[in-house]
């Protein structure tokens, strides 16, 4: 199995994030995650780790707004200049907004920290010097996997970092800057309809948003109920798409403590929707924070459950791009990823 991976992710390594209650903690989404996954893949004998091809910005612009991409590329340098001019003390070389728009329609401030508030939904998407290069390389991994599958391979794994499914057309959030899965899915629509199934613990709000009115992409997310969990403002069961996309988005909000059996029941419903839609290809947003031991989650899905999820997805027998999203229990991360992917070797 081709595994697309770039070392560039190491340049994205922020010193802290801010959680609910205002507490600063080391960023859960850290470079070590990739080392854990690579180590587990190295023991398998079937993972072919390959650097991504460069598809340029074209297929990224097909998903993200030009002004947002400009912001991501220039924000860090602008912030170095602006914080100096304003005499703002920055203890760490990192850009965080502290003000968010109550109404977004007003437009964008010239101040870069003002624009950071405009383009960011929370305090888990810091921008450091290497954030844009890392995010761009991560998107190229997703595109490389999409191309591999478009060429006829049965499955490819995009080992993306930073992850992507919280990023919208013009906003970052939840460790995500460019929506890798959405970029892969939009690329694959050249072959026909695409389904995206998001199994990360958190609702895939960015992917939902990007394809909400799209008639050629079915998006489904299975996740913790946003009424009680991040991302709070999207991922509810009554959000089902609009316009040409009416009926083509589905959310499966689940309660705390959801274990293998309950999770797999929701997955079965999701898979039935995929079959009814009849896509040419499948993109899986693979977050391993559904695992019982995840520090950010509260589901009770086991490693065996993750393998069963892999079997369910593989049984669709669709050309499949698996895109790495979240998962913060580093001890278990490698085994869970290998467990999910293994299913595609058999089916």
Q: What is the closest distance, in whole angstroms, from the C-beta atom of residue 327 to Zn ion in the complex?
A: 7
Is 3:41 a contact under the CB 8 Å cutoff? yes
Q: What is the closest distance, in whole angstroms, from the C-beta atom of residue 288 to ligand SP5 in the complex?
A: 9
Residues 6+ apart with CB under 8 A from 233: 205, 226
Is 218:210 a contact under the CB 8 Å cutoff? no
Q: What is the CA radius of gyration of the chain?
A: 19
Contact region with ligand SP5 (CB under 6 A), list: 45-53, 90-98, 171-179, 271-279: 171-179
Q: Where are the alpha helices (DSSP H) in the chain?
A: 32-42, 58-61, 66-86, 112-119, 131-150, 180-188, 205-210, 260-277, 303-314, 330-346
157 binds ligand SP5 (CB under 6 A): no
Is 177:162 a contact under the CB 8 Å cutoff? yes
89 binds ligand SP5 (CB under 6 A): no
Tell me whether residue 69 or residue 182 sits nearer to Zn ion (CB atom): 182
Residues 211-240 that bind ligand SP5 (CB under 6 A): 230
Among all residues, whose Cβ is closest to Zn ion? 326
Closest listed residue to residue 328, CA positions, set 255, 230, 193: 230
Paired with 156 in beta bridges are: 2, 321
Among 12, 161, 202, 249, binds Zn ion (CB under 5 A): 202
Partner that binds at residue 20, options Zn ion, ligand SP5, none, CB closer than 5 to 8 Å by kind? ligand SP5
Q: Per-residue x/- mask for ligand SP5, residues 274 to 313, rule CB under 6 A? A: -------------x-x-----xx-----------------
Paired with 196 in beta bridges are: 219, 283
Q: What is the closest distance, in whole angstroms, from the C-beta atom of residue 131 to ligand SP5 in the complex?
A: 15
Chain-centroid distance of CA 38 in Å reads 18
Tell me whether residue 2 or residue 223 sits nearer to ligand SP5 (CB atom): 223
33 binds Zn ion (CB under 5 A): no
Residue 166 annotated in active site? yes
Q: Per-residue x/- mask for ligand SP5, residues 16 to 35, rule CB under 6 A? A: ---xx---------------
Choosing from 12, 64, 166, 249, the catalytic residue is 166
Residues 6+ apart with CB under 8 A from 299: 201, 224, 254, 256, 257, 258, 259, 263, 290, 291, 292
Asked if the peptide bond before residue 162 counts as cis, ω within 30 degrees of 0, the response is yes
Residues 6+ apart with CB under 8 A from 22: none
Give the whole-angstrom CA distance, residue 142 versus residue 219.
Answer: 17
Q: Per-residue x/- mask for Zn ion, residues 274 to 293, rule CB under 5 A? A: -------------x-x----
Partner that binds at residue 230, options ligand SP5, Zn ion, none, CB closer than 5 to 8 Å by kind? ligand SP5
Q: What is the closest distance, in whole angstroms, from the C-beta atom of residue 182 to ligand SP5 in the complex?
A: 13
Give the whole-angstrom CA distance, residue 247 versus residue 265.
Answer: 20
Q: Which residues are catalytic?
A: 166
Q: Give the interface with Zn ion as residue ranges (CB under 5 A).
A: 200-202, 287, 289, 326
Q: Give the interface with ligand SP5 as residue ranges (CB under 6 A).
A: 19-20, 124, 163, 166, 174-176, 200, 202, 230, 287, 289, 295-296, 325-326
């Amino acid at each position: 199995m081709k595994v697309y991976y770039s070392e560039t992710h190491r340049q994205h390594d922020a010193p802290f994030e801010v959680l609910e209650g205002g507490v600063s903690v080391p960023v859960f989404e850290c470079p070590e995650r990739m080392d854990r996954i690579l180590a587990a893949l190295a023991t398998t004998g079937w993972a072919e780790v390959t650097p991504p091809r460069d598809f340029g910005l074209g297929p990224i612009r097909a998903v993200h707004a030009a002004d947002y991409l400009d912001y991501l590329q220039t924000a860090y340098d602008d912030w170095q200049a602006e914080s100096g001019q304003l005499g703002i003390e920055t203890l760490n070389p990192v850009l965080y907004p502290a003000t968010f728009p109550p109404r977004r329609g007003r437009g964008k401030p010239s101040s870069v920290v003002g624009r950071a508030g405009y383009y960011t939904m929370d305090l888990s998407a810091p921008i450091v010097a290497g954030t844009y290069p890392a995010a761009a390389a991560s998107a190229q991994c997703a595109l490389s996997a999409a191309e591999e599958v478009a060429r006829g391979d049965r499955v490819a794994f995009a080992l993306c970092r930073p992850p992507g499914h919280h990023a919208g057309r013009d906003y970052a959030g939840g460790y995500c800057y460019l929506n890798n899965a959405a970029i892969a899915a939009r690329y694959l629509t050249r072959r026909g309809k695409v389904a995206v199934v998001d199994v990360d613990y958190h609702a895939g709000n960015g992917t939902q948003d990007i394809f909400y009115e799209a008639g050629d992409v079915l998006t489904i997310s299975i996740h913790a109920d946003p009424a009680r969990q991040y991302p709070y403002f999207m991922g509810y069961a009554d959000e089902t798409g609009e316009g040409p996309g009416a009926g083509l988005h589905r959310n499966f909000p689940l309660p705390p403590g959801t274990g293998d059996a309950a999770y797999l029941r929701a997955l079965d419903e999701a898979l039935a929707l995929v079959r009814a839609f009849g896509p040419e290809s499948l993109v899986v947003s693979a977050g391993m924070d559904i695992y019982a031991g995840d520090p950010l989650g509260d589901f009770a899905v086991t490693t065996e459950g993750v393998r069963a999820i892999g079997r369910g997805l593989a049984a669709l027998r669709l050309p499949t791009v698996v895109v790495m999203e979240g998962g913060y229990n580093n001890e278990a991360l490698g085994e869970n990823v290998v467990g999910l992917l293994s299913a595609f070797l058999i089916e």
